Structure 1
Amino acid sequence: MRIFKFGGASVKDADGIKNVVNVLNQVGFDNTLLVVSAMGKTTNAMETVVNSYFEDKSEVASAIQDVLKYHNDILMDLFENDKHVIFKQIKSLFDEVQGFLAWNKSPKYSFVYDQVIGYGELVSTTILSAYLNEIGITNTWLDVRTFIKTDDNYRDATVDWEKTQASITKGIDKTKLNITQGFIGSDDNNFTTTLGREGSDYSAAILAYCLNATAVTIWKDVPGVLNADPRYFENTQLLNQISYREAIELAFYGASVIHPKTLQPLQRKEIPLHVKSFIEPKNAGTTVGKGANIEPKVPCFIVKKNQVLMKLSSLDFSFIVEDSISELFKLLHDHKMKVDLIQNSAISFSVCVDNKFGRLEELLDHLKGKFKVTHYENVALYTIRHFDTEAITGLQKGKEILLEQRGKETVQLVVK
C-alpha cells in the first residue's frame, strides 16, 4: 500500500481538488491511502473560532459562517447541482462545531482547541471524497480518529502505538482507495486530539508504519526538499536524495518541508519517503531513505523566526552546573518552551526557545528570582548544515549576531 499526503496548499480551492485528481490519474491510485490536510488557511480560520469563543462569544457564529462560506464557494465550483447531498453534509459538520461550543463546559483552551480545529480536516476530506465519487473514482472515507489513538495531552498528543496498530489492522482495507485526515486522533474517551501543528505528515507516517506501506509521498508546491526555504532564501537547490539521519537533523533544526516526528516511524521499517511536486507529479522530487547522506552535498539553510533568546547568569557568580541546569530545564518544560539552542559557560547559560504557548512572562518571573536575566524577543535562529565560509559570510551580512554556535557539520546563529 502507498500513502499519499496532500497538504492545505494542494486543496486550497476547487482547482486544487481537480489537480489532486490529475495527480492520481498520472501516478495511479490502486491500494492507496490519501491523508489530507485542511483546505488553505482553514486551520487559522478555525483558530479564530476558538479565540472568539474565549474572548467574545458574540463573534463565534460569524467566525464559523466565514469558514462555511469559504467551503461553500469551493463546493459551488465543484458540484453543478447545488442540491447535492455534500452541501448538507458540510453544513452539518459546522453545526457540530457550533453545537459543541454551545454545550461545552470546559474552560481549558487546549481541550476546546482540539475539539474544534480538526473540523478543517473532516470537511476537506469529506469534500474530496464526495468529488472523487462524483467523477467515478470510487473511494472510502475514513475517520482517522477511529484509528490513531493517543493520550489526552491536547494540542500535542502522544500516540498509543499498540492501540493504534490494532485499530488500523482491524479497520482499514488496503485493497481500496481510502481517504482520511491528517493532524488528528482521539483519546480513550473519544475526544479529538491533535498531533501538533503541521502534524499531517506525522499522521501519514503513523499510518504507513502500521500498514507496512511501500512508500509515503508528500505532495507539495515545491519540487521536493530544497536546501533552503525559497520564501527566505534566493537560488535554492533541489536535494535529490537525503538519508533518514540527515532528514531528521534538518527536521530537528526546523526545516519546514518535513515534520520532526515524521521520520522516526518510517526509519524503523525503512519505508522510503518521497517529497514531490503536485504541479509536476512525474518529476522525481526528493527521496528520503537509506543510502547517500545528502546529494548534492551543498550548504542547507534553515531559519526559525519569532524566537526568544534568554541569557542567564548567576546572581552570586556561582557556577551554573548540573543542579542549576536541571532546574532550568524543568522550568522550561513546565512552561512548554521548545528549546532550539543552548550554550553555557561557568557562570552563564543562554537558551533560544519557541514561545508558542505564550508563557514567556510567567517563565521570566520565575527565572528572575534566581538569575540575572537578559532576554531578546522576535529574534531569528539560522542554522546552516554542511556550512562553508561563503555560506556563513553571506548570512551574517547586515545582521546583528547575538549568539553563534559552531560544530563540525552545523553552525547556528541567533540574529536580531
Structure 2
Amino acid sequence: MRIFKFGGASVKNAEGVRNVVKVLQTVGHENTLMVVSAMGKMTNAMEAVVNAYFKDEALLDEKIQFIADYHKGIINDLFEAKNHGIHHKLNKLIEEFRGFLLWNKSPKYGFVYDQVVGYGELISTAIVSAYLREIGIENEWLDVRELIKTDNAYREAKVDWEVTGSRIRSRIDTKKLNVTQGFLGSDENNFTTTLGREGSDYTAAILGYCLDADSVTIWKDVPGVLNADPRHFQETRKLEQISYREAIELAFYGASVIHPKTLQPLQRKGIPLFVKSFVDPRTSGTKVGKGVKISPDVPCFIVKKEQVLLKLSSLDFSFIVEDNISAIFRLFHEHRLKVDLIQNSAISFSVCLDNKFDGLKTLLPVLEERFKVVCHEGVSLYTIRHFDENAVESILNGYDVLVEQRGKETVQLVVK
C-alpha cells in the first residue's frame, strides 16, 4: 500500500489535474491511496467566504460565486460533456456550505471555519476522482471525515487514534485506487474538524500509519527537500536522504519541509517518506527514513524574516531567575508570540519571537512595567544546521549581528 499526497499547486488548474494523471501512469496506481488538497489557492478563497460571513455579508455571494466559477472553469476544460455529473456534484457541494451559512447559529469562528473551509478539499477530490474515471482509471472516492475521528478543538483538532485506526482499516479496500481529502476529520457529533497547519501532509501520515503503508510520498513542485529555500538563497542543493530526526530539527527551526506532526506517526512504524517532484516523477526525490545520515553532508540554511528581538533586563539589577522567566513565557503564550531563540545571563534575557498574530503591541506595555525592554523589530533569524565557518561567513556579510548562539551542529544568528 502506498500513500500519495498531492498539494494544491499540483491541481491548481486542468493542466495540473492532467499532470497528476501522468504521474500515476508513470509510477503506477495499484494499491494506492491519493490524498488531494484544495485546488490552487482555494483554501484562501474559502477563508474569504468565512470572513465575509462574519464581517461583511454583502460580499458573501460574490465570494461564493468566485469559488463556483473557478471550479467550473476547470471542469469545462477537463470534461467534454456539458451535462456531466460532476457539474451536479459541484453545485450540490456549494449549496451544502451555502445552506450551512444560512441556518448556522453559532458565533464561534473556529466552528464555522471548519464547516466551510473543508469544502475546498471535497470539491477538489470530487473533480479529480471523476476525471480519473472519465479517462478509464477506476477509483473509489472516500469522505475522509468518516475515517478520521477527532476531538472538537476546531482548527487544530487532535486525532482519536483508536477509533480512527479501526475505521480506516475496516473501510478502505487497499486493492483499489482510492481518492480522499487532506486536512479534514470529524468530531463525535459528525461536525467537520480541521487538523491545523500542514493538515494534508498529516492526513497522509495518519492513513499511512493506520494502513501499515510501505511508503508515503508527498508530491511537490520542487525536486525534493533542498538545503535552503531558493526564494532566499541563490545556491541550493537537493538532499538525497535525511533521517526523521533531521527533518524534525529542520522543521523546528522553521524550514518549510515537513511538519513534525507529519513525521511522528511514520517514525513510530519506520515508514519511509519521500518528497518528489510532480513535474518530473521519474527522479528520486528525497527519502526521509530511520537512521539514515544526511546526504550530501552540506550546511542547511533556514531564514525567518520579520522577527522581533526583545532584550529584557531587571529594573533593579536583580537576577533574572526561574520565577521571572516563567512569568515571561506565560505572557508570550497569552499574547500568542512564538519563541524561536532564547539567550540569558544573570541580569538579562534575550528572546527572538515570531509576531505572526500581532501580539507585540499589547505585550510591550505589560513587560515594561517589570523590566527594562529594548525591542528590535524587523530582524531576521538565520539557522544553519551542519555549519562550517564558510557557511557562517556567507550570512554575516553585510549584516549587524545582534545575537549569536552556537551548538555542536547548529548556529543561530539574529541579524539586522
Which TM-score tier does this pair reach, normalised by the shorter chain? over 0.9
CA offsets 1:288-315 (integer angstroms, 9 cap, x no match)? 1123320110010112233333332223
Task: Give the conservation status (yes or no) of the 8 Å contact 1:9–1:221.
Answer: yes
Which residue pairs with 1:333 in the alignment?
333
CA offsets 1:195-229 (integer angstroms, 9 cap, x no match)? 22222111111110111000001111111111011
One-letter code aligned to 2:321? V
- Separation in 2, partners of 1:376, 1:92: 51
One-letter code aligned to 2:45? A
Residue ranges of structure 1 left out of the alignment (5+ in a row): none
One-letter code aligned to 2:219? W
TM-score by length of 2: 0.95
- Secondary structure of the equivalent of 1:261? helix
Which residue pairs with 2:116 in the alignment?
116
The alpha carbon displacement at 1:188 in A equals: 2.0
Task: Give the conservation status (yes or no) of the 8 Å contact 2:242–2:293.
Answer: yes
One-letter code aligned to 1:284? S
Task: Give the conservation status (yes or no) of the 8 Å contact 2:222–2:277.
Answer: yes
The alpha carbon displacement at 1:107 in A equals: 2.4
* Range 373-382 or range 59-68, more displaced: 373-382
- Separation in 2, partners of 1:207, 1:157: 16
The alpha carbon displacement at 1:91 in A equals: 2.0
Task: Give the conservation status (yes or no) of the 8 Å contact 1:199–1:259.
Answer: no
- Kindly report which structure 2 residues correspond to 1:296-307, keeping only aligned pairs within 5 A, or say none: 296-307=296-307
Task: Give the conservation status (yes or no) of the 8 Å contact 1:3–1:34.
Answer: yes
Q: In 2 relative to 1, CA 364–96 (structure 1 residues): closer, same or farther, beyond 3 Å?
A: farther
- Secondary structure of the equivalent of 1:364? helix
- Secondary structure of the equivalent of 1:280? coil
Which residue pairs with 1:295 in the alignment?
295
Which residue pairs with 1:384 in the alignment?
384
Which residue pairs with 1:343 in the alignment?
343
- Separation in 2, partners of 1:210, 1:366: 47
Which residue pairs with 1:395 in the alignment?
395
* Range 318-327 or range 218-227, more displaced: 318-327
The alpha carbon displacement at 1:365 in A equals: 4.3
Aligned length: 416
Q: In 2 relative to 1, CA 352–117 (structure 1 residues): closer, same or farther, beyond 3 Å?
A: farther
Task: Give the conservation status (yes or no) of the 8 Å contact 2:10–2:221.
Answer: yes
Task: Give the conservation status (yes or no) of the 8 Å contact 2:247–2:257.
Answer: no
- Kindly report which structure 2 residues correspond to 1:150-299, keeping only aligned pairs within 5 A, or say none: 150-299=150-299
TM-score by length of 1: 0.95
- Secondary structure of the equivalent of 1:227? coil
The alpha carbon displacement at 1:330 in A equals: 2.4
- Separation in 2, partners of 1:205, 1:132: 24
CA offsets 1:375-410 (integer angstroms, 9 cap, x no match)? 344433221101111111111222333322211111
Task: Give the conservation status (yes or no) of the 8 Å contact 1:61–1:98.
Answer: no
The alpha carbon displacement at 1:276 in A equals: 0.8
The alpha carbon displacement at 1:49 in A equals: 1.7
One-letter code aligned to 1:325? I
- Secondary structure of the equivalent of 1:309? strand
- Separation in 1, partners of 2:191, 2:67: 22
One-letter code aligned to 2:46? M
- Separation in 1, partners of 2:29, 2:278: 14
Which residue pairs with 1:107 in the alignment?
107
CA offsets 1:23-45 (integer angstroms, 9 cap, x no match)? 00111111111011111111122
Which residue pairs with 1:63 in the alignment?
63
- Separation in 1, partners of 2:393, 2:356: 30
One-letter code aligned to 2:340? D
- Separation in 2, partners of 1:395, 1:150: 43
Q: In 2 relative to 1, CA 149–221 (structure 1 residues): closer, same or farther, beyond 3 Å?
A: same
Task: Give the conservation status (yes or no) of the 8 Å contact 1:219–1:276.
Answer: yes
Asked whether 1:10 is paired with 2:10, we answer yes
The alpha carbon displacement at 1:353 in A equals: 2.7
Superposed structure 1 runs of 4+ greater than 4 Å apart = none
Q: In 2 relative to 1, CA 191–333 (structure 1 residues): closer, same or farther, beyond 3 Å?
A: farther
One-letter code aligned to 1:97? F
Q: In 2 relative to 1, CA 75–109 (structure 1 residues): closer, same or farther, beyond 3 Å?
A: same
Asked whether 1:318 is paired with 2:307, we answer no
Which residue pairs with 2:309 in the alignment?
309
- Kindly report which structure 2 residues correspond to 1:79-118, keeping only aligned pairs within 5 A, or say none: 79-118=79-118
- Separation in 1, partners of 2:274, 2:103: 43
Q: In 2 relative to 1, CA 376–159 (structure 1 residues): closer, same or farther, beyond 3 Å?
A: farther
- Secondary structure of the equivalent of 2:260? coil
Task: Give the conservation status (yes or no) of the 8 Å contact 2:6–2:219.
Answer: yes
- Separation in 1, partners of 2:258, 2:273: 10
Residue ranges of structure 2 left out of the alignment (5+ in a row): none
